[in-house]
Amino acid sequence: MGKRILLVSAILVLVIAFYAFDLDQWLMLDKLQEGTDKFMQWKDASPLLVGLLFALFYILVTGLSLPGAAILTIAAGAVFGLYWGTIIVSFSSSIGATLAFLVARYLLRDYVQERFAMRLKMVNEGIEREGAFYLFALRLVPVFPFVLINILMGLTHIRVWTFYWVSQLGMLAATIVYVNAGTQLARIDNLKDIASPALLLSFALLGVFPLLAKYILNWVKRRRAAK
């Protein structure tokens, strides 16, 4: 009990410090746009260090279940490009999600059960019915927000390693789409650039992806049912 109180206190201190040092301002799109040139300079000077610090910041945000993962994903595309941005976000989001999962499972179980009872019941039924594929489906076509999936899954019987790799695989397609959008936003120098084919295609992918993912998911389910 003492260890649990200590860990919960440490998490609260991290959350308070996060806002006390105004780190939340970097989760606002306008602030990130203002700092893009500076980030690019830092990255060019120390790519490994900046990449590591960005990953740690991403893990902190997602691990503490703070809002802003989508904006950070777009920022990763703007600063690191499609290839490295995707790698950094894919691992950081999965590690952070797993930390939030563990916090819910071992520290906040009673609170989550009371606060999200109905949604937790739905998730438990889905896991009982489809196993890890249910988590994959939620990651591919999120019925619940990213943060809530992490928390609710922590109270199911799914294994930690299974949660990690299924989450990383299920989120990969959306990660690529959002990182790609970030690479295009970084290229806007004037208003004419907004109408560029590459940028319009990136925004189109953001809108079409959920529909495409749902179609793929339904196709996979039909194939599973036919076996």
Q: What is the pLDDT of residue 14?
A: 76
Neighbour-count burial for 7-18, b at 16+ CB within 10 Å, e otherwise: eeeebeeeeeeb
Kindly tell me if the per-residue pLDDT of 192 is higher than 60: no
Name residue, tokens 């489906």: 137
pTM of the model: 0.79
Arithmetic mean of pLDDT, 45-70: 92
Q: Which helix (H) or strand (E) holds 91?
A: helix 69-106
Arithmetic mean of pLDDT, 51-79: 91
Q: What is the pLDDT of residue 194?
A: 40
Arithmetic mean of pLDDT, 112-134: 83
- The string of pLDDT tens digits covering residues 135-178 is 988 887 766 788 889 999 998 989 999 999 999 998 988 888 88
177 closest CA partner among 209, 144, 216, 147: 209
Q: Which residue has the higher pLDDT, 113 or 95?
A: 95
Kindly tell me if the per-residue pLDDT of 190 is higher than 60: no
Q: Which residue has the higher pLDDT, 26 or 98?
A: 98
Neighbour-count burial for 84-110, b at 16+ CB within 10 Å, e otherwise: bbbbbbbebbbbbbbbbbebbbebbee
Q: What is the pLDDT of residue 122?
A: 85
- Torsion angle defined by CA atoms of residues 97, 159, 105 and 85, in that order, rounded to the nearest 10 degrees: -10
What average pLDDT does the structure give for the chain? 80
Alpha carbons 72 and 54: distance in angstroms, whole number: 9
Task: Record the tokens describing residue 226, joined without a space.
Answer: 């036919």
- The string of pLDDT tens digits covering residues 77-90 is 988 999 999 999 99
**Confidence category of residue 21, pLDDT binned at 50, 70, 90:** low
Please name the amino acid found at residue 85.
G
Arithmetic mean of pLDDT, 26-41: 71
Kindly tell me if the per-residue pLDDT of 191 is higher than 50: no
Alpha carbons 134 and 122: distance in angstroms, whole number: 11
